[in-house]
Amino acid sequence: MTEKKNIRKLEEGIKLEVSERNNYGGYLCLDTLFSAQKPISDPEHHDEMLFIIQHQTSELWMKLIIHELNEAIHCVQIKRLGRASKILARVKQIQKQLYEQWSVLETLTPSEYMQFRHVLGNASGFQSVHYRQVEFLLGNKNEKMVNVFPAGSESRKVLETVLDSPSIYDVFIKHLFDEGYSVPEKLVNRDLRKPHVFNQALMEVLVVIYKRPDQHWAMYALCEQLVDVEQSFQQWRFRHMKTVERIIGFKQGTGGSSGVGFLKKALELTFFPELLRLRTEL
């Protein structure tokens, strides 16, 4: 009895001869992407590849968050709050990917990491221009952070631009003001290079929205999306801190920070203080 080979035939419509630029790898520039993993430990340590890919993929996800936040800001400015809410829902899902990635890095033991940590030199996530852009776009402005990047560098120019531009919370507050809500004018004419500071009058406006959500649904829905994004960001910060604690304990960070202590302080920061405080007032 002849044994039949379990070989699936290709469908006739499948294109086999595709130019390199028009195929899957060409469209995604995979040759460039896959050539960017360059361990420098000598001899090469097996786990350095994990460390590099973990951080490179995080940078890609943050690049997408920046792309989405800029669009959400634009949508609020042109009064498309529904579209902005939808985009922020996507941002939350991207943040979920970043959060879950820590479980991969957590498989790196202290003994393994110590075998190649020295090759990082002063390199640190503290120097991530993408991470800093995300913080600025969400409203945690800090002029001093720009100095981490060399004067005249493209990274510094990008951060200066974001620093001078309104955050997602700034444009939402202005939208409330433009719609006739009792938002203090000083909040829409403030120095955008500074972080937003809690304002009692703004919270009272938001309390009105939350007490009558059906009458203010677009604003209410957007507020809740902002809270989701903040909560997801805080969860990511916490997981980051615990991962660092698990791998290096309380050693100083490669970039010169206090490490875990520095990351714990970041957990005290908030982007949208009125949205969190109003819960107590309802």
Binding-site entries for heme: 240
Distance CA 126, CA 257 (A): 8
Distance CA 81, CA 2 (A): 66
Write out the two tokens for 232: 């997801």
Number of neighbours of residue 99 by Cβ within 10 angstroms: 17
Distance CA 69, CA 59 (A): 15
Collapse the DSSP code of 58 into the 3-class scheme (helix H, G, I; strand E, B; otherwise coil) and give the result. Answer: helix
Distance CA 207, CA 68 (A): 28
Distance CA 145, CA 25 (A): 37
Number of neighbours of residue 270 by Cβ within 10 angstroms: 19
Distance CA 41, CA 116 (A): 6
Binding residues: 51-55, 113, 117, 240, 254
DSSP annotation string for 77-137: HTT-HHHHHHHHHHHHHHHHHHHHHHHHHTTS-HHHHHTTGGGGTT--GGG-HHHHHHHHH
Binding residues for substrate: 51-55, 113, 117, 254
